[in-house]
Amino acid sequence: MICWLNGQLIPVSGAAVPVCDRGFLLGDGIYETIRVYNGEAQWLERHLARLTYGLRVIALRHDANLPAAIAETIAANALDAGSLRITITRGSGPRGIAPPQKSEATTLITAFPAAGPLPPARIIIASRTRRNAFSPVAGIKSINCLDNIIARQEAARTGADDALLLDTRERISEATAGNVFAVINGELLTPLPGDGALPGITRARVLEIEGREATLTADDIRQASEIFLTSSLGIRPVAALDGTPLPAAHPVSDRLAEALFGQYPLAEPRGDDGGLHFI
């Protein structure tokens, strides 16, 4: 595959960033994942708006023409269906936590072709880590995904595919790689941003059709008749929560997947990225 790195299209195998890049050393950066279909980046305006917000939150100046870079990356890879990941770090700097007064951002765009659709997910409620809903990082796509990784490792040890994270007040926040929706007493609900939920692109589009935000606890979501996860790549129904099966039929997520993604539901990109950036 061909990536776009700081203005150049080069093979992924030959791409490199400096060893003093703050993204590599400190997780000082943000990212965005964008679905590609028919050779076009989907909902690009919304993704770029969220990316711009994240850059403001961490006070990172960025001047690259991202729409042009995205188009170049899609064309270079002849990517008809799949996804792109945009990663922006603060670039190189001296040793230490404090950002340098002047720095040149590192910008990387990588492409992933789509594979087949994912099966319904088996999920757990993570117990090893909590999401800090009070941190400004909770509202942006930070490249530091350690809480998500720890929760995903916990899920894997139980044979599950994903995990729901609680915040420090024991409220449901989101999954490790997507937002979560639940049908409870016939009503479609999703956690509030104030409870640690990232303002996902697909989450917003679902709420434009139906549903509302609400504070949810573990006990609440265990009463759900249907649960599904949303990401920029699609909608994935949940088959079981903490080992308890959910109904095999998932009419709400099926209806929303058809409305938002047509006959092309969530597809797992080819590549060793672990799915951690699909929200």
| Residues 128-164 pLDDT 10s | 999 999 999 999 999 999 999 999 999 999 999 999 9
Give the Cβ contact number of residue 93 at 10 Å.
Answer: 21
- The reported pLDDT for the residue numbered 279 is 57
Q: Which residues of the chain fall below pLDDT 50?
A: 265-266, 270-278
- The reported pLDDT for the residue numbered 236 is 95
SS3 sequence, 29-62?
A: EEEEEEEEECCEECCHHHHHHHHHHHHHHCCCCC
- The reported pLDDT for the residue numbered 278 is 46
CATH 3.30.365.10 is right for the domain spanning 121-269 = no
The residues, any chain, with a CB within 8 Å of residue 1's CB and separated by 6 or more, are 11, 12, 77, 110, 111, 112, 271
- The reported pLDDT for the residue numbered 39 is 96
Where do we find the tokens 């008809």?
80
Cross-strand pairs, 163: 124
Phi and psi torsions of 91, nearest 5°: 85, -165
Q: How far apart are CA 171 and CA 201, in angstroms?
A: 21
pLDDT tens digit string along 34-68?
Answer: 999 999 999 999 999 999 999 999 999 998 899 99
Q: What topology is assigned to 2-113 in CATH?
A: D-amino Acid Aminotransferase; Chain A, domain 1 (3.30.470)
- Domain boundary assignment for the chain: 2-113, 121-269
